Structure 1
């Protein structure tokens, strides 16, 4: 049996093809998560957070082989993004950005398993940030979603369209944090070929 792969099992949410905004109903997913603040391009805290997240993810992957659920492919890195001042995103004030970085977990991975994997990774990898990795469940529900192809810095026109045209035209308003799923490895992919899922939970204006 092939290892569980969320990109295959939940294509609508992890392998969309639409490059124009569309509404999807995102079911509950569980993740390992780590929180922080700072510029993702320069902040050491961000680099250490992502390293810690992957250390726990791969510890869970190898532990999963011994469970009834079996092996799984480590899912793409994801991020929830927000700022105390919304203009921090349009002005490029990345040092003030808040983030929760995520990696999706298969349904059979339990919170107890995540706790055990965190302890094992902390002991083996000696990465202090591992102690900050936690379990998180998200149920985003109705959300605007699009596949962006190109540099992360070129997302602005799509996001402007979302917040100034698309949501209002569909009788919606934001109801959760801006969510990105990074399908490409930026270390191995040219900026113009990067694939990123952009997602914004939304609720009805008359709700």
Structure 2
């Protein structure tokens, strides 16, 4: 059986679209590229995505040749802004991002170094120089499946931040995390499926 992170962790990759779910995310490793600016127009974002996928497929084929095949995971991203309301207002020019693709636990830093070298030899890309292997340990998180355009996420995020979290005594404990379950280039905006995740912790109760 091919390893597939979506099947290995269904609670993390297939949440309900009807209600927020409370999950515990174990430490997972990712290829990551950091940058800033509007993801729709920033050349750095397009270069980062290309670097992540070319490296991920190079890693997959090398691993398959060694006898362990797997499904390349979907694109994910961490998002932050100096003013968190920039996500609800969709002020994309002020966003900072870390684009991610999950990697199986047996992929090593040496594997990544070899794959980056091979990917660069095939097609130079400045973002390959920024690509690194990281481990994210998000722990307790609240998430929901958003179906529709990325620009329609605002009301759901407002509900999470302003209603669900305060009502449940929770506060922020990490960056806003999105998982893109389909390819935006080949999918109608109203059919896009995106996991919206927010790492949380118990808020300090007022004395």
Category of TM-score, reference length = shorter chain: over 0.9
Q: Distance in 1 between matches of 2:66 and 2:180?
A: 28
Q: Distance in 2 between matches of 1:175 and 1:45?
A: 27
Q: Distance in 2 between matches of 1:75 and 1:83?
A: 26
Q: Distance in 1 between matches of 2:86 and 2:204?
A: 29
Q: Does 1:129 align with 2:130?
A: no
Q: TM-score, normalised by structure 1?
A: 0.95
Tell me the equivalent position of 1:160: 158
Which piece of structure 1 moves more, 82-91 or 187-196? 82-91
Are the equivalent residues in 2 in contact too, given 1:119–1:131 (CA < 8 A)?
no
Q: Deviation at 1:18?
A: 4.2
Q: Distance in 1 between matches of 2:29 and 2:169?
A: 29
Q: RMSD of the TM alignment (CA)?
A: 1.3
Tell me the equivalent position of 1:11: 10
Deviations 1:30-82 (A, max 9, x none): 000000001011111111111011110011011111335x0111100000000
Are the equivalent residues in 2 in contact too, given 1:55–1:125 (CA < 8 A)?
no
Unaligned runs of 5+ in 1: none
Tell me the equivalent position of 2:28: 29
* Structural mapping, 1:96-107, within 5 Å: 96-107=94-105
Of residues 112, 115, 134, the one that matches 2:113 is: 115
Q: TM-score, normalised by structure 2?
A: 0.95
Give the match's secondary structure for 1:65.
Answer: helix
Q: Distance in 1 between matches of 2:200 and 2:17?
A: 18
Distance of aligned partners of 1:84 and 1:206 in 2 relative to their CA distance in 1, 3 Å threshold: closer
Are the equivalent residues in 2 in contact too, given 1:180–1:196 (CA < 8 A)?
yes
Tell me the equivalent position of 1:174: 172
Matched residue pairs, number? 205
Q: Distance in 2 between matches of 1:182 and 1:14?
A: 10
Tell me the equivalent position of 2:138: 140
Tell me the equivalent position of 1:53: 52
